[in-house]
Amino acid sequence: THKVEHLKEKLISQAQEVSRLRSELGGTDLEKHRDLLMVENERLRQEMRRCEAELQELRAKPAAPCTGCEHSQESAQLRDRLSQLQLEVAENKGLLSELNLEVQQKTDRLAEVELRLKDCLAEKAQEEERLSRRLRDSHETIASLRAQSPPIKYVIKTVEVESSKTKQALSESQARNQHLQEQVAMQRQVLKEMEQQLQSSHQLTAQLRAQIAMYESELERAHGQMLEEMQSLEEDKNRAIEEAFARAQVEMKAVHENLAGVRTNLLTLQPALRTLTNDYNGLKRQVRGFPLLLQEALKSVKAEIGQAIEEVNSNNQELLRKYRRELQLRKKCHNELVRLKGNIRVIARVRPVTKEDGEGPEATNAVTFDPDDDSIIHLLHKGKPVSFELDKVFSSQASQQDVFQEVQALITSCIDGFNVCIFAYGQTGAGKTYTMEGTPENPGINQRALRLLFSEVQEKASDWEYTITVSAAEIYNEVLRDLLGQEPQEKLEIRLCPDGSGQLYVPGLTEFQVQSVEDINKVFEFGHTNRTTEFTNLNEHSSRSHALLIVTVRGVDCSTGLRTTGKLNLVDLAGSERVGKSGAEGSRLREAQHINKSLSALGDVIAALRSRQGHVPFRNSKLTYLLQDSLSGDSKTLMVVQVSPVEKNTSETLYSLKFAERVRSVELGPGSRRTELGSWSSQEHLEWESACQTPQPSARAHSAPGSGTTSRPGSIRRKLQPSA
Ligand code: ADP
Ligand code: MG
């Protein structure tokens, strides 16, 4: 019975334990929890809907006002932001619904577990009932057994047996209980997790709510700003309208005033207009009559003009006739002049008195000029006045340019293919080199001629192609040397051209092509250094030699191919002074003889040319031979006779001027020529002749010693003619 009692107690405690477990597990608790979640969920959903509705409202509101205002941009930004937020809200909604689903699942599972728990409990109750029934049976049995003692032991035994069975059942139920407990623990775990999840979803919801609140406030702010902006714009607009209105009113007032003024003006103008109209009508009448008047006037004027024109015409005709007659006359005169002058002109240039002339009676001026005639020069020689007439006389005041002006035409004719010779003649110190070379600051004919040629050639460059070459040579003691060559000491020969043209040329004579003034300067400098290195006393040497600058201008007509060649010979002659009987001997005497010979030969050649003699003694000197083709034919020659003005040089001046006049006067009639030539054989000349005993036959012919006749040049010609 103890055992039974014990079992009973145990059963009761078991039942209590089960009921406790049941209450502990609290199916109702879980349910409560689930309901709470569901309620919370529903609330959130509602809140969300409300938010959405508000958003919609807000979105609809600001669409209307101000477009294009500066806040529209901000509004657009805000709108963008809003849509972004909405997107986020949508996302959050998705998340929420997911959570809801999960909660639903969990609730389902919970229900399942509860169901199973119920089943277990029912089973347990059944078992208990069964056990209690068995217990009751056992009690009854025990009681009956007590009544029948003998079989009690057996009954006990069966009870014992049965009680072991019960024990087994108990342990089984305990095991099951254990299992149920485990399941409950598991369920609790699940529940805890679910609670955690719910909590996190709560947090999320809170966050979302906060965000939504933030967006709402932002929206509110944007809306507020927009409203403010619109307000200020509205105010601006109103203000502008008011101002414009005020201005318009003021203007209106002014216009009204103006109108009043104009009205009064109009009133005063009306009488003036009336008088003007009257005037106008009067003028109109006059104008109508005007064309008639004008026509008459025009007619008379036309007639007058016609008459005048006729008169002028007849006058013109008369003048033209006269002009033609004059022109013919002028041409005839010109031809005559050319015939008279020939192509040879002689001019004189007097240098100014210089410091080198010294002082005293010897340095006084002995040369005067005719103020009315620039071809006359007067010389006071040993107290006796002598006058000479040349083609032109340049006084000491004449500049380099003045002299160049005179020779300019001659130089340009070289471009047209004429050969030209310009000689500077005179005693040493009379200004030959000054006239030909000049000074660096004031260049003479040489440089000016080349400059002129360059510019002239340039002007014709469109039709003609020209090359200008320059050679420089000197003749000393009848020897020709190249001043531009590498070997200035080398003697050059004058040869006949092998082409049979009869022209002369100098083999080995250096020719430089020049294109600019710089080129000429280089050539001159080169020639000068050549001469200075060769001769220790250049001044003395150059006064005893002839210096030649030969400029050749070759042209080709671009269109026709026609060729021309012109040669310009610029010659600085040796000093013409004569050496007295006593002072000359040796080399000085030889020099003097050579100079005399060549200058005489030049005089003879020019004389022969000007008197148009059949024979011209070119071969009598190197100079005339070299210049033969530049002196003959239609060549042009200019002799510049340099004259010193001072008293001490009058003898040489006289001699030079006589030479000039002789050369110039050759073309005059035979009688007058003879008389002119008579002056050649002056006392001075004879003095010199006796001093120079020249060995050459031609020179002998020149000197005709002792004869002193007036026909000397004629006799030279007669003697030379057969030899040619
Ligand atoms: P030449 O060559 O005949 O021996 P230069 O030409 O050497 O003579 O002249 C001698 C001097 O007289 C030089 O100093 C020169 O400058 C000067 N002279 C010559 N002619 C003139 C002139 N027209 N004007 C100024 N000075 C002159
Ligand atoms: Mg000189």
What does DSSP assign to residue 352?
A: P
Which position has the token pair 């201008």? 553
Task: Tell me what pLDDT residue 343 has.
Answer: 77
CA distance 299 to 396: 67
* Distances in whole angstroms, Cα of residue 184 to Cα of each of 104, 112, 431, 675: 20, 12, 152, 177
Cβ of 431 less than 6 Å from ligand 1 = yes
Task: Tell me what pLDDT residue 583 has.
Answer: 55
CA of 437 to the centre of ligand 2 (A): 9
Question: Binding-site residues, please?
Answer: 426-433
Closest CA to 463 of 565, 563, 556: 556
Cβ of 434 less than 6 Å from ligand 1 = yes
CA of 662 to the centre of ligand 2 (A): 23
Which position has the token pair 């001046």? 653
* Residue 569 CB partners (closer than 8 Å, separation 6+): 419, 420, 421, 422, 548, 549, 550, 551, 627, 630
CA distance 64 to 44: 32
Closest CA to 699 of 610, 592, 586, 587: 592
Is residue 433 within 8 Å of residue 570, measured between CB atoms? no
Is residue 474 within 8 Å of residue 536, measured between CB atoms? no
Residue ranges of E strands in 260-391: 344-350, 367-369, 376-381, 384-389
DSSP states along 620-665: GSHHHHHTHHHHSTT-EEEEEEEE--BGGGHHHHHHHHHHHHHHHH
Cβ of 438 less than 6 Å from ligand 1 = no
Cβ of 543 less than 6 Å from ligand 1 = yes
Task: Tell me what pLDDT residue 156 has.
Answer: 66
Please indicate, yes or no, whether the overall pTM of this predicted structure exceeds 0.75. Answer: no
pLDDT tens by residue, 85-117: 888 888 888 888 888 888 888 888 888 888 988
Report the amino acid identity of residue 516: S
Which position has the token pair 């019960």? 166
Locate the domains of the chain by residue range: 401-665
Phi-psi region of 358 (alpha: psi -120 to 50; beta: other; left: phi over 0): left
User: What residues in the chain have per-residue pLDDT under 70?
Assistant: 1, 22-31, 61-71, 149-160, 327, 330-331, 333-342, 534, 536, 580-585, 665-724
CA 35, distance to chain mean position in Å, is 94
Report the amino acid identity of residue 100: N
CA of 452 to the centre of ligand 1 (A): 23
Query: Measuring from atom 22 of ligand 1, which residue has the nearest CA?
Result: 351
Task: Tell me what pLDDT residue 385 has.
Answer: 95
CA of 566 to the centre of ligand 1 (A): 29
CB burial class (10 A; 0-12, 13-18, 19+) of residue 223? middle
CA distance 220 to 78: 10
Closest CA to 594 of 478, 687, 716: 478
Query: Measuring from atom 18 of ligand 1, which residue has the nearest CA?
Result: 431
At residue 395, the 3 state secondary structure works out as coil
Cβ of 34 less than 6 Å from ligand 1 = no
CA of 427 to the centre of ligand 1 (A): 11
Task: Tell me what pLDDT residue 723 has.
Answer: 32
* Residue 707 CB partners (closer than 8 Å, separation 6+): 715
Which position has the token pair 């601006």? 236
* Residue 614 CB partners (closer than 8 Å, separation 6+): 721
Query: What is the token pair recorded at 100?
Result: 């809801």
Task: Tell me what pLDDT residue 141 has.
Answer: 86
CA distance 318 to 321: 5
Query: Measuring from atom 17 of ligand 1, which residue has the nearest CA?
Result: 431
Residues in the chain: 724
DSSP states along 570-612: EEEPPP-PPPPTTT--HHHHHHHHHHHHHHHHHHHHHHHHHTT
Is residue 645 within 8 Å of residue 353, measured between CB atoms? yes
* Residue 404 CB partners (closer than 8 Å, separation 6+): 444, 445, 448, 449
CB burial class (10 A; 0-12, 13-18, 19+) of residue 20? exposed
- Ligand 1 closest atom vs CA 434: 6
* 60 backbone dihedrals φ, ψ, rounded to 5°: -70, -35
Determine the residue of 354, 437, 442, 541 to mutate for testing ligand 1's pocket, defined as the one with the most ligand atoms within 8 A of the Cβ atom. 354
CA distance 620 to 597: 8
Is residue 377 within 8 Å of residue 669, measured between CB atoms? no
CA distance 301 to 306: 9
Question: Binding-site residues for ATP, please?
Answer: 426-433
Determine the residue of 355, 357, 393, 434 to mutate for testing ligand 1's pocket, defined as the one with the most ligand atoms within 8 A of the Cβ atom. 434
The two beta strands, 392-394 and 384-389, are: unpaired
CA of 350 to the centre of ligand 1 (A): 10
Is residue 399 within 8 Å of residue 353, measured between CB atoms? no
Query: Measuring from atom 5 of ligand 1, which residue has the nearest CA?
Result: 431
Cβ atoms within 10 Å, residue 374: 16
CA distance 443 to 436: 8
Q: Which residues pair with 567 in a beta bridge?
A: 552
Cβ of 643 less than 6 Å from ligand 1 = no
CA distance 606 to 612: 10
* Residue 120 CB partners (closer than 8 Å, separation 6+): 176, 180
CA distance 345 to 421: 10
CA distance 27 to 43: 25
Closest CA to 27 of 110, 109, 105: 110
Query: What is the token pair recorded at 622?
Result: 């190197």
Is residue 657 within 8 Å of residue 388, measured between CB atoms? yes
- For domain 401-665, the CATH superfamily is Kinesin motor domain (3.40.850.10)
